[in-house]
Amino acid sequence: MTVKPGKLFINNEWVDAQSGKRFDLINPATEAKLTDVAEADKADVDVAVRAARRAFESGPWHTMSARDRGRIMMKAANLLDKYKDEFAELETLNNGKPIGETKNVDLPLSIQCLEYYAGLADKIHGDTIPVDGNFFNYTVREPAGVVGQIIPWNFPLLMAAWKLGPALSTGCTVVMKPAEQTPLTALRLAEVFQEAGLPAGVLNMLPGFGPTAGAAIARHPDVDKVAFTGSTEVGKIVMEMAAQTNLKRVSLELGGKAPNIIFADSDLDAAVNGIMRGIFFNQGEVCCAGSRLFVEEKIHDQLLSKLQASVEKLVVGNPLDPKTQMGAQVSEEQFRKILGYIETGKQQGAKVVTGGAPAANKGYFIKPTVFSNVKDEMRIAQEEIFGPVVCAMSFKDTDDLVKRANNTVYGLSAGIWTRDIGKAHRLARDIKAGTIWVNCYNCFDAASPFGGFKQSGFGRELGKYALELYTQVKSVWVALD
Ligand code: NAI
Ligand code: MG
């Protein structure tokens, strides 16, 4: 596939950056240049926000019938389906994830998400409220306005869909900044929306870097709301920038350090599959990755040897090969960061059961890695590695386990493996996380909410819950006499 150079998408036009700057994109599997794209900065963000403001205040988007808005979105979803093979390949080339996953996970979930919000457009409404006195009181859900959306590189297309679905469905207009590593599928998605008939200015797509283009969005006085997915570190900066300028509304979907808990009474083969899915899916570059593995002591050794045998069968390599199960990490920076954590783990006394090194001479491949003898306070057990590295620890007592599972600044997700239904529900209650998976892991559906407790962020994406992020409620009182 030849990959076209990219431009900025502003007001339904493809334009160069005002500075004329461009930057290179790398294929992480080969380390070769893939293409280059225009680099937006503050000046381009200003133009895009003006276009989005015009489209919001005087354009047809939020004033057209909600059903027509839904139709345009459904058309975009259908076009994404039509072009899905091209999108899957583009995503794999830019991100390094296996083509089997882009085809069977990223694309179907992205299409489903756009379909879901297309269908929701005409089902967003307020309430009538029985107040005291001779009044008629009702609420209206109005769109939040001009929305800034900053997304990461681990699921470039899917994160764009999660953000655009509810924002467009509610009638907002958008300035989006994809991650600098992976803007290609987001740009192609903008083209799809253009083809579907989205009015000018409703969606603006600006590849660029965080401290320039990203910060310009978060600081912009005429952006009404900013939605961010990425590191907790940058999430805090985004919130500060929002507070210091116009107090724009903020929603944050940040990091995680999820416990994946295996009880002795679980189906161990299923649990091993769930552990693998939890940590090696998408090369471990997943905010809800099951990176802290808690194993009940009496099955610890047995489970780890089963796990080791399965991990050593994983096919790591060329992401374009349909047989590949784990591809390349997204960038050299991420590759080095993960290898750094592996070194730290070794130095602090954890034991490498398998992996623990690069998997190829060229490209950012890392062997799927299992650590045992991990202590709760070690850095590899506390910090988000965002790579294919799982840290196994054993436990005896369930109360103590719950404390340890919650002993993290994060709270995005957790996995629980047991055949005891009472124990499963008790842990689902006691673990502080936004998503709990019982006898499964990394399950997603556009209808089910996703988001964090604690420093994993706030606000819920997906489902009807995401409407809270992109609407504001107006209460109207009418005197009846
Ligand atoms: P990052 O948080 O720096 O980048 C995410 C997005 O924020 C990108 O679009 C980036 O351009 C933008 N950004 C960066 N600095 C910004 C700023 N000052 N103002 C506004 N926007 C800004 O994440 P990075 O550096 O790519 O990865 C570092 C670590 O963050 C990873 O190793 C991982 O642990 C975590 N991470 C978590 C993600 C999640 O889904 N929760 C996604 C990506 C990274
Ligand atoms: Mg960063």
Contact by Cβ (8 Å): 199, 55: yes
Report how far ligand 1's centroid is from the alpha carbon of 117 (Å).
26
**Mean pLDDT computed over 71-95:** 98
Give yes or no for residue 246 having a pLDDT over 90. Answer: yes
Q: Calculate mean pLDDT across residues 409-415.
A: 98
- Please name every residue paired with 395 in a beta bridge, in sequence order, or none if there are none: 296
As a whole-number percent, the residues of the chain with pLDDT over 70 amount to: 100
Residue 149: closest CA among 56, 253, 50, 61: 253
Tens-place pLDDT, residues 260-279:
999 999 999 999 999 999 99
Give the chain's mean pLDDT: 98
Mean pLDDT of 321-343: 98
Pocket test for ligand 1, best of 205, 209, 234, 342 (most atoms within 8 A of CB): 234
The residues, ordered by sequence, that sit 6+ positions from 380 with a Cβ below 8 Å of its Cβ are: 341, 344, 345, 348, 350, 371, 374, 389, 391
Contact between 97 and 91 (Cβ < 8 Å):
yes
Average pLDDT over residues 106-121: 98
Q: Which atom of ligand 1 is least distant from the CA of 180?
A: 11
3-state secondary structure 373-406: CCCCCCHHHHCCCCCCEEEEEEECCHHHHHHHHC
289 touches ligand 1 (CB under 6 Å) = no
Rounded to whole angstroms, the Cα distance separating 431 from 434 reads 9
- Domains of the chain (ranges plus CATH)? 8-254+456-477 (3.40.605.10), 259-445 (3.40.309.10)
Distant-in-sequence, close-in-space partners of 181: CB < 8 Å, separation ≥ 6: 25, 26, 94, 95, 153, 330, 331
CB atoms within 10 A of CB 14: 15
Who's near 397: CB < 8 A, 6+ residues apart?
Answer: none
pLDDT at position 2 is: 87
Q: Per the residue annotation, which of 89, 101, 115, 253 is the catalytic one?
A: 253
Mean pLDDT of 246-251: 98
Of ligand 1's atoms, which has the minimum distance to the CA of residue 233?
A: 2
Annotation marks residue 287 as catalytic: yes
Q: Report whether pLDDT(119) > 90.
A: yes
Give the phi and the psi of residue 470 in degrees, each rounded to 5. Answer: -115, 10
Q: How confident is the model at residue 252 (pLDDT cuts 50, 70, 90)?
A: very high
CB 423 less than 6 A from any atom of ligand 1: no
Average pLDDT over every residue of 199-220: 98
Distance, CA 446 to ligand 1 centroid (Å)?
Answer: 23
Q: Residue range 194-217: average pLDDT? A: 98
Residues in CB range of 63: below 8 A, 6 or more apart: none
440 as an active site residue: the answer is no
pLDDT the model gives residue 35: 98
CA–CA distance, 409 with 414 (Å, rounded to integer): 14
Q: Whose CA is nearest to atom 18 of ligand 1?
A: 211
* Rounded Cα gap, residues 204 and 190, in angstroms: 8
pLDDT in tens, 445-462: 999 999 999 999 999 999
Burial of 446 (0-12, 13-18, 19+ CB in 10 A): buried
Query: Residue 336 pLDDT more than 90?
Result: yes
Residue with CA nearest ligand 1 atom 29: 231
Whether 175 lines ligand 1, by a CB cut-off of 6 Å, is no
pLDDT of residue 209: 98
* pLDDT > 90: percent of the chain: 99
Res 38: pLDDT = 98
Q: Which of 287, 288, 384, 391 is catalytic?
A: 287
Contact 443, 290 (CB under 8 A): no
Q: What is the 3-state secondary structure of the chain?
A: CCCCCECEEECCEEECCCCCCEEEEEECCCCEEEEEEECECHHHHHHHHHHHHHHHHCCCCCCCCHHHHHHHHHHHHHHHHHCHHHHHHHHHHHHCCCHHHHHHHHHHHHHHHHHHHHHHHHHCCCCEECCCCCEEEEEEEEECCEEEEECCCCCHHHHHHHHHHHHHHCCCEEEEECCCCCCHHHHHHHHHHHHHCCCCCCEEECCECHHHHHHHHHHCCCCCEEEEECCHHHHHHHHHHHHHCCCCEEEEECCCCCEEEECCCCCHHHHHHHHHHHHHHHHHCCCCCCCEEEEEHHHHHHHHHHHHHHHCCCCECCCCCCCCCECCCCCHHHHHHHHHHHHHHHHCCCEEEECCCECCCCCCCECCEEEECCCCCCHHHHCCCCCCEEEEEEECCHHHHHHHHCCCCCCCEEEEECCCHHHHHHHHHHCCCCEEEECCCCCCCCCCCECCCHHHEECCECCHHHHHHHEEEEEEEEECC
Ligand 1 within 6 A of CB of 207: no
Q: What is the pLDDT of residue 416?
A: 98
What is the model's pLDDT at position 369?
98
Q: What's the gap in Å between 165 CA and the centre of ligand 1?
A: 21
> How confident is the model over 58-74, as a mean pLDDT?
96
Residue 19 has pLDDT above 90, yes or no: yes
Q: State the Cα–Cα distance between residues 366 and 387, nearest whole angstrom.
A: 8
Whether residue 209 has its Cβ less than 6 Å from ligand 1: yes
Write phi, then psi, for 112 (nearest 5 degrees): -60, -40
Q: Any idea of the CA torsion for 229, 234, 239, 242, to the nearest 10 degrees?
A: -90
Determine the pLDDT at residue 1.
86
Contact assessment for residue 46 and residue 216, using Cβ atoms and an 8 Å cutoff: yes
